[in-house]
Amino acid sequence: MTVVLVAPAQSADGDQGRDTRTQLQRWVDVLERRGHDVYLVGPSDLPIRVQHHVAARLDVADTVQALADAMQGVPPPIVLLDGGVRGSAVTVEEVESANGTVVLAEPHERDDGAARMPPDAPLRVAGDVVVAAGSSLHQLREWTHDGVGLLRVDAADTAAVASALRVMGDVAGAQKWKSQVLPLTTVAAVRAGVRVHAMGAGTLPWRVSELDGSDDPDDAEERRLRIAAAVGPAQGVVDRLVGIPLAERLAQLFWRLGVSGRTLAVLGVVSALFAGVLVSTGTAIAMVTGAAMLLASVIFDRIDGVLTRARRTASPFGAWLGATTDWFREAAVVIGLAVGAAAVAAPKWALACG
């Protein structure tokens, strides 16, 4: 994944600049450690250790032009990220794996009893598509969402967005704009006719400085938060005492191992078919083993759903696969029971067909 990290204006000097530079270095270290190519757009003397540094002055026009330059010749899709935000690398990777051009956004919270101050990155979203985008320089009425510092540009849209950014940079230079840069990228994309989808940060915090007493949560804490939210409410006492803790622990294990939800769905089908074969023999040991395999199939199915929601990778095909898995599991066990009972009961074929 290619991440273009934009140094905010606060990274120049002072205590706030020192904090911002620390946050910039954190993003670089985390993303490079996870194997991503990071291009930092900022002053050449910025004391940040990074493999790729695109020099730019801390003014809007030069930074926007440098963004367009950084997008040239790098493997798409490209994630444009505000280096001053605090967020999750898992969320960045989820946005990167989404379809199309995507902006990270959150619903705008309105207080009708107070004066409404426009945000830095107002968005009007219909369905999940951004129909209008603004910034502190581009007024937008009746916005529904706030952009939160991340735009993922799809391969098909890279040239159009880069060209629109160059125009935006020329205008910014002529009018001497002073503003946050990242909101201008979404404005440029929407005005270029690019279809931009809005995506939320999910259960992980974004623009939050503290998480359980730590400024920088590690991957394990991020996985735990997503999985806990994805498990859902308990379906009875046994589920609360056994099912949920087991599902959370196994989901964390499979996530760390890189096992996909579809792999778990296939394992669920195989376990159910094996359970049906064992039950069909009619022997006591095979029946017990078959029951254990059936339980394993149910657990695989449960973890498949948890991981799919936690990773936010749900799809129509995945929903069809889940329903098909349930049908195979039920059919395999019922047919296995009928065949096993037919071995010791009469009329055998009538019972087997039943």
Per-residue pLDDT tens over the stretch 263-289: 888 888 899 999 989 888 877 888 889
Banded model confidence at residue 71, pLDDT cuts 50, 70, 90: very high
Distance CA 308, CA 25 (A): 31
Tell whether the model's pLDDT for residue 116 goes beyond 60.
Answer: no
Distance CA 273, CA 330 (A): 9
Judge contact between 100 and 154, C-beta under 8 A: yes
Tokens of 228: 């806990």
Distance CA 50, CA 31 (A): 10
Banded model confidence at residue 215, pLDDT cuts 50, 70, 90: very low
pTM, two decimal places? 0.67
The radius of gyration of the chain's CA atoms, rounded to the nearest angstrom, is 26
Which of 107, 9, 113 has its CA nearest to residue 56? 9
Region of 196 (left: φ > 0; alpha: ψ -120 to 50; beta: rest) is beta
The pLDDT, as a whole number, for residue 118 is 57
Banded model confidence at residue 210, pLDDT cuts 50, 70, 90: very low
Tell whether the model's pLDDT for residue 109 goes beyond 60.
Answer: yes
Question: What DSSP designation does 109 have?
Answer: P
Per-residue HEC secondary structure of 15-81 comes to: HHHHHHHHHHHHHHHHHHHCCCEEEEEECCCCCCCCCEEEECCCCHHHHHHHHHHHCCCCCCCEEEE
Q: Which helix (H) or strand (E) holds 253?
A: helix 244-257
Which of 152, 159, 158, 111 has its CA nearest to residue 130? 152
Distance CA 143, CA 103 (A): 15
The pLDDT, as a whole number, for residue 10 is 64
Q: Judging by beta carbons within 10 Å of its beta carbon (0-12, 13-18, 19+), is residue 36 exposed, middle or buried?
A: middle
More confidently predicted of 187 and 137 = 187
The pLDDT, as a whole number, for residue 206 is 66
* Average pLDDT value for residue range 87-112: 80
DSSP secondary structure letters along 270-282:
HHHHHHHHHHHT-
The pLDDT, as a whole number, for residue 156 is 94
- Cα separations (Å) of 57 from 19, 40, 41? 19, 12, 9
Per-residue pLDDT tens over the stretch 72-94: 888 888 999 998 888 878 788 77
Return the sign of the alpha-carbon dihedral for residues 138, 139, 141, 146: positive
Residue with tokens 């095979």: 286
- Cα separations (Å) of 53 from 69, 83, 276? 12, 13, 60
φ, ψ (nearest 5 deg) of residue 268: -65, -40
Return the sign of the alpha-carbon dihedral for residues 70, 83, 178, 183: positive
Total residue count of the chain as it appears in this document: 354
How many other C-beta atoms lie within 10 A of the C-beta of residue 160?
16
Q: Which of 39-43, 223-227, 306-310, 336-340 has the highest mean pLDDT?
A: 39-43
Banded model confidence at residue 11, pLDDT cuts 50, 70, 90: low
Tell whether the model's pLDDT for residue 122 goes beyond 50.
Answer: yes
Compute the mean pLDDT over every residue in the chain, rounded to the nearest whole number.
82
Banded model confidence at residue 167, pLDDT cuts 50, 70, 90: very high
Instruction: Give the chain's end-to-end CA distance (angstroms, integer).
Output: 54
